[in-house]
Structure 1
Amino acid sequence: MRTVLITGANKGIGFETARQLAALGNFVYLGSRDILSGQKAADQLNASGVNNVAAIQIDVTNINSISKAKAQLDSEVGALDLLINNAGISGAQPQQVADYSMEAIRTLFETNFFGAVQTTQIMLPLLRKSSAPSIINVSSEIGSLTMNMSAERPPNWSNFSTYGCSKTALNGFTVMLANELRSQNIPVNCVTPGYTATDLNQFKGFKTVEEGAKPIVVLAMLTDRTVTGKFFKDGGEIRW
């Protein structure tokens, strides 16, 4: 049984990803800024017959919180097989980078980029204790530079420009980290759930959470450890 930590797993895509991975036989820690929300999510899964889950408090914007979560994992399981950096915020729209407030930009990056970076750095010692560790960063098509330069780019993407920048940065982190950890046999990849109906977009997405979690779960269950530094969507790869 693999041990998985998913940040932002008390609701939305994170919660559904936890449900699906636990159903496949993994033990999943549901990371949540608020432990009560996390425990409520774990209780909900328990009530549905999914018992191989546990809530863990982790605020990805707070180093002390991440360190406490790492210490708890070290004490309870000793190693981490899979880290899924899922926690993220969308920010208020419209958010064109030409005039979006610097405070709002920093807030988005604090969770979507720096949160993933510092969570990964702090959890790496536990991942290195695993016989087959891996890291997945949950990104977005809006972070794809290729898709943003395409004539098929949806016009409403301009409303999410700053969010897109934070995901582009996350994509860059993924590639650089994948190169750094390649010799240590730690695959690092990105995946986008697609436009999924969650509170991140006021439930306007056209995909269900079950559909949105699918590509994350597929990547999480991948056994080919040579696959690293890639960006996936439902059905295949996305160009950076």
Structure 2
Amino acid sequence: MTKKIALITGANKGIGFETARLLGEAGMTVLVGARSAALGERAAAALAGDGIDARFVHIDVTDHGTVDAAAAWIEKEHGRLDILVNNAAIAAADASGPGAYTLPSDTSAASVRAAFETNVIGVVAVTAAMLPLLRRSPAGRIVNVSSELGSLERLSDPSSPAHRVNLLPYNASKSALNAVTLAYAKELADGPIKVNAATPGHCATDLNGHTGPRPAAVGAAVIAGAATLGADGPTGVFITDAGPEPW
């Protein structure tokens, strides 16, 4: 049986790394996407040391040259792509450090632009480049790693924990990412490719100064599950480990 090929962006650490581990342990070839060659090579070597078929792929989602080069390399080496996990993301807050918080009125346009460049435009660029390869898969899967902080229903509900986390760059970019997810899902609904958003929950990662209560491996299981949906699985939904999340 031909092994599935999975590309995970931002896979040198955190949720991305643990997602790569889970997909690799499931018998897939995992392509460890990272903008830093040193960190990406180190992550791929760590996975390979555990018996996983892992290879580093240089990809900076904000550098379209590296995105196109990565797609060309995957085509040459594998001829197709079965799973794309758009995981790379930044918080882009003006304040820094654990627990840092910037009010929307104090947020710079530059930080919002930076968040959208990585969290939204980067996803569009990578998806566009990889879609021809995903179309060659008998059952392509695209997973956009989102957050409860991108759910407009959660953000507007005073009883939701997300309501009090008023981070303009991150929240707005994840809401936009959810819209991007729906756009692709609707376009591809009549074919075998499934496109979903998924949230790992509030995990301890570099993105939040390791303040999250969930281990990255637990959150990654949600992403890996969305990446391995069967033919009867949903498309165009926002997946959590507790069931569908409201948009």
How many angstroms apart in 2 are the aligned matches of 1:173 and 1:225?
22
Q: Which runs of 4+ in 1 moved over 6 A?
A: none
Equivalence for 1:229: 236
Verify: 1:138 aligned to 2:139, yes or no.
Answer: no
> Identity of paired residues, percent?
43
1:7 maps to a residue whose letter is T
How many angstroms apart in 1 are the aligned matches of 2:104 and 2:181?
23
Q: How does 1:104-115 map to 2 (within 5 A)?
A: 104-115=111-122
Preserved contact between residue 193 and residue 213 of structure 1 (Cα < 8 Å): yes
Preserved contact between residue 187 and residue 225 of structure 1 (Cα < 8 Å): no
1:186 maps to a residue whose letter is I
Equivalence for 1:162: 169
List gaps (5 residues or longer) in structure 1.
none
Q: CA deviation at 1:186?
A: 1.4
Equivalence for 1:76: 77
Q: CA deviation at 1:156?
A: 4.1
Equivalence for 1:31: 33
Q: CA deviation at 1:214?
A: 1.1
Preserved contact between residue 137 and residue 174 of structure 1 (Cα < 8 Å): yes
Task: Please tell me the root mean square deviation across aligned C-alpha atoms, in Å.
Answer: 1.2
Tell me the secondary structure at the aligned position of residue 126 of structure 1: helix
Tell me the secondary structure at the aligned position of residue 206 of structure 1: coil
Tell me whether 10-19 or 182-191 shows the greater mean CA deviation. 182-191
What is the TM-score normalised by the length of structure 1?
0.96
Q: How does 1:66-215 map to 2 (within 5 A)?
A: 66-92=67-93, 93=95, 94-154=101-161, 156-158=164-166, 160-215=167-222
Preserved contact between residue 91 and residue 108 of structure 1 (Cα < 8 Å): yes
How many angstroms apart in 2 are the aligned matches of 1:184 and 1:97?
41
How many angstroms apart in 1 are the aligned matches of 2:133 and 2:51?
29
Preserved contact between residue 96 and residue 162 of structure 1 (Cα < 8 Å): no
Preserved contact between residue 185 and residue 235 of structure 2 (Cα < 8 Å): yes
What is the TM-score normalised by the length of structure 2?
0.93
Preserved contact between residue 185 and residue 225 of structure 1 (Cα < 8 Å): no
Tell me whether 181-190 or 65-74 shows the greater mean CA deviation. 181-190
How many angstroms apart in 2 are the aligned matches of 1:71 and 1:232?
30
* CA distances 1:133-172 after superposition (whole Å, capped 9, x unpaired): 11100000000001011122335401x2320100000000
Q: CA deviation at 1:46?
A: 1.8
How many angstroms apart in 1 are the aligned matches of 2:115 and 2:182?
20
Preserved contact between residue 139 and residue 231 of structure 2 (Cα < 8 Å): no
How many angstroms apart in 2 are the aligned matches of 1:101 and 1:235?
35
Q: CA deviation at 1:97?
A: 3.1
Tell me the secondary structure at the aligned position of residue 105 of structure 2: coil
Tell me the secondary structure at the aligned position of residue 104 of structure 2: coil
How many angstroms apart in 2 are the aligned matches of 1:183 and 1:227?
12
Q: CA deviation at 1:185?
A: 2.6
Q: CA deviation at 1:226?
A: 5.0
User: Cα–Cα, structure 1 residues 226 and 209, in superposed 2: closer, same or farther, change >3 Å?
Assistant: closer
Equivalence for 1:64: 65
Tell me the secondary structure at the aligned position of residue 178 of structure 2: helix
The aligned length equals 238
Tell me whether 88-97 or 180-189 shows the greater mean CA deviation. 88-97
* CA distances 1:182-235 after superposition (whole Å, capped 9, x unpaired): 123311000000000000000000000111111111111211355110001112
Tell me the secondary structure at the aligned position of residue 120 of structure 1: helix
2:78 maps to a residue whose letter is V
